[in-house]
């Protein structure tokens, strides 16, 4: 009912009025629930990609100090040792939900709360009234331009997380837009990266192996060898961002190292599914052009033969990125299977046609190494049926999600959530082929 009211009112009242109502709700939530953020050290992590894994690394690092930590991410909610799934299809929850979460964290004697902060949340005042102890930037790349209209506005919205003069500001110095964030005041600014700009916290001697990825963590405090249990150069950036906060609050390099190395995986993030099949299967949440570039770079060394890509694009979201996803996949994959993702109220066929515009038609021939299968379960099944020993099936876009958003059959202007657990579907399809190990 609430979504229907919003759909009717949105074109009538205008964006400014809608944002005003968000601000009123945030103020009311703060007032009614007693502004629990005042009694917590709140760390906000923003950026286009890498937020969830950075939060996981950061939570693990902070727990090495012996304190209780709360975390609210795209994938999970955690208060101390209590963990629950986030099946809301919302990264930064509403102001009321967020304040309730922080109140529970306070009552559970948590000292820190680590929050994923989206540009939508910043624009819609969901975090109004929270004074951030630390603000972290992972990166800013092409995404959400349907909402923010252009890249500059998108970046300026992210900047709001840093405008309240946090105690610690952590910036990815390799990001092209980092200078904008470095201009914001903070009591302590810590830069990180892998490039030649000499960040305060950096990595060298990077080596990938079957165990994960190892590197030398270098900081003003010295250096330590770290072995991450997750592959991908992008995860080094996530680890460096988290390490920067840990070092900023006075932790030792050894404590930071222990925290990073204890994180074995994050659900739906470069998640390997092994059921005894002779080909690799990786699930990942990648759904932006930059995330696609990074995931294909990461899986290339792991594929002995072909990379079979299964993906689509989200409906009612930035249309401009759809052909770019097709273009990136064309360069990185050997077989492409376009499928449904979260169409919301859009026609799923229209979405994959737009993705298809970016695909290299000389390299990919329909019915040979290019398929369009709207039913995502059947698309995954097709990938497994054609996969042979040494191939790698890369399934992107949904990752950890257990729901999918489709048009409401009673009112096509609205969307509803239906069950679709990507991991369970993958495991079920592998089992159907006889892989049950």
Q: What per-residue confidence (pLDDT) applies to 29?
A: 80
The domain of 100 spans 2-261
Q: What per-residue confidence (pLDDT) applies to 142?
A: 64
Q: What per-residue confidence (pLDDT) applies to 209?
A: 80
Q: What per-residue confidence (pLDDT) applies to 124?
A: 86
Q: Is residue 227 part of a domain?
A: yes
Q: Is residue 266 part of a domain?
A: no
Q: What per-residue confidence (pLDDT) applies to 13?
A: 56
End-to-end, the C-alpha distance of the chain in Å comes to: 45
Residues 284 and 204 in one domain: no
Q: Is residue 124 part of a domain?
A: yes
Are the C-beta atoms of residues 50 and 238 closer than 8 Å to each other? yes
pLDDT tens, position by position, for the chain (437 residues)?
555 555 555 555 556 656 667 678 878 888 888 899 999 999 999 998 999 999 999 999 999 999 999 999 999 999 999 999 988 877 778 889 999 999 999 999 999 999 999 888 888 888 888 999 999 999 988 665 555 568 788 888 889 999 989 999 999 999 989 999 999 999 999 999 998 788 999 999 999 887 789 999 999 999 999 999 998 889 999 999 999 999 999 999 999 999 999 999 899 999 999 999 999 999 999 999 989 999 999 999 999 999 999 999 999 888 999 999 999 999 999 999 999 999 999 999 999 999 999 999 999 999 999 999 999 999 999 999 999 999 999 999 999 999 999 999 888 888 899 999 999 999 999 999 999 87
Domains: count for the chain: 2
Residues 206 and 331 in one domain: no
Residues 287 and 242 in one domain: no
Last residue of a domain, one of 228, 261, 294: 261
Q: What per-residue confidence (pLDDT) applies to 144?
A: 55
Residues 283 and 368 in one domain: yes
> 57: which 2 tokens?
């690394």
CATH at residue 236: 3.40.1190.10
Q: Is residue 278 part of a domain?
A: yes
Residues 130 and 279 in one domain: no
Q: Is residue 189 part of a domain?
A: yes
CATH at residue 308: 3.90.190.20
Last residue of a domain, one of 204, 234, 261: 261
Distance separating alpha carbons of residues 429 and 232, to the nearest angstrom? 26
Q: What per-residue confidence (pLDDT) applies to 212?
A: 86
Q: Is residue 157 part of a domain?
A: yes
Distance separating alpha carbons of residues 92 and 47, to the nearest angstrom? 12
The 3-class SS string of the chain reads CHHHHHHHHHHHHCHHHHHHHHHHHHHHHHHHCCCHHHHCEEEEEECCCCHHHHHHHHHHHHHCCCCCEEEECCCEEEECCEEEECCCCCCCCCHHHHHHHHHHHHHCCCCEEEEECCHHHHHCCCCCCCCEEEEEECCCCCCCHHHHCCHHHHHHHHHHHHCCCCCEEEEECCCCCHHHHHCCCCCEEEEEECCCCCCCEEEEEEEEECCEEEEEEEECCEEEEEEECCCCHHHHHHHHHHHHHHHHCCCCHHHHHHHHHCCCCECCECEECCCCCCCEEEEECCCCHHHHHHHHHHHHHHCCCCEEEEECCCCCCCHHHHHHHHHHHHHHCCEEEECCCCCCCCCHHHHHHHHHCCCCCCCCCECCCEEECCCHHHHHHHHHHHCCCCCEEEEECCCCCCEEEEEECCEEEEEEEEECCHHHHHHHHHHHCCCCC
Residues 131 and 250 in one domain: yes
| Backbone phi, psi, residue 174, to 5° | -80, -15
Q: What per-residue confidence (pLDDT) applies to 258?
A: 97
Residues 223 and 324 in one domain: no
Residues 275 and 253 in one domain: no
Residues 318 and 222 in one domain: no
Q: Is residue 437 part of a domain?
A: no
Distance separating alpha carbons of residues 100 and 384, to the nearest angstrom? 43
Last residue of a domain, one of 241, 261, 281: 261
Residues 237 and 343 in one domain: no
């Amino acid at each position: 009912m609430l979504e229907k009211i919003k759909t009717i009112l949105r074109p009538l009242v205008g964006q400014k009025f809608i944002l005003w109502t968000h601000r009123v709700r945030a103020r009311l939530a703060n007032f009614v629930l007693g502004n629990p953020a005042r009694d917590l050290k709140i760390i906000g992590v923003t950026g286009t990609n890498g937020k969830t894994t950075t939060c996981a690394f950061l939570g693990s690092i902070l727990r090495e100090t012996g304190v209780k930590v709360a975390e609210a991410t795209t994938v999970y909610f955690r208060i101390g040792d209590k963990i629950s799934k986030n099946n809301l299809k919302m990264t930064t929850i509403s102001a009321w939900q967020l304040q309730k979460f922080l109140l529970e964290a306070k009552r559970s004697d948590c000292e820190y709360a680590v929050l994923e902060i989206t540009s939508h949340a910043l624009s819609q005042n969901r975090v109004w009234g929270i004074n951030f102890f630390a603000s972290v930037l992972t990166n800013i790349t092409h995404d959400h331009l349907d909402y923010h209209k252009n890249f500059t506005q998108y970046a300026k919205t992210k900047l709001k997380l840093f405008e309240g003069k946090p105690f610690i500001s952590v910036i990815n110095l390799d990001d092209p837009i980092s200078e904008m964030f470095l201009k914001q005041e903070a009591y302590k600014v810590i830069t990180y990266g892998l490039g030649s700009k000499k960040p305060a916290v950096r990595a060298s001697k990077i080596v990938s192996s079957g165990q994960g990825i190892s590197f030398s963590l270098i900081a003003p405090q010295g250096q330590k060898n770290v072995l991450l249990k997750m592959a991908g150069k992008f995860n080094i950036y996530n680890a460096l961002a988290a390490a920067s906060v840990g070092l900023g609050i006075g932790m030792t390099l050894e404590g930071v190292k222990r925290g990073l190395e204890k994180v074995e995986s994050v659900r739906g993030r470069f998640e390997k599914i092994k059921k005894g099949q002779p080909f690799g299967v990786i699930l990942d949440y990648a759904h932006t052009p930059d995330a696609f570039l990074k995931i294909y770079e990461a899986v290339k060394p792991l594929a002995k033969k072909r990379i079979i890509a299964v993906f689509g694009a989200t409906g009612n979201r930035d249309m401009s990125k759809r052909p770019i996803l097709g273009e990136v996949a064309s360069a990185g994959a050997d077989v492409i299977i376009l499928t449904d993702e979260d169409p919301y109220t859009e026609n799923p066929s229209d979405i994959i046609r737009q993705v298809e515009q970016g695909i290299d038609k000389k390299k990919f021939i329909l019915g040979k190494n290019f398929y369009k299968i709207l039913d995502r379960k059947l698309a995954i099944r097709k990938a497994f049926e054609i996969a042979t020993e040494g191939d790698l099936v890369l399934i992107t876009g949904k990752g950890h999600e257990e729901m999918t958003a489709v048009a409401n059959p009673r009112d096509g202007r609205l969307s509803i959530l239906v069950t679709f657990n990507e991991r369970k579907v993958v495991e079920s399809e592998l089992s159907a082929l006889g892989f049950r190990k």
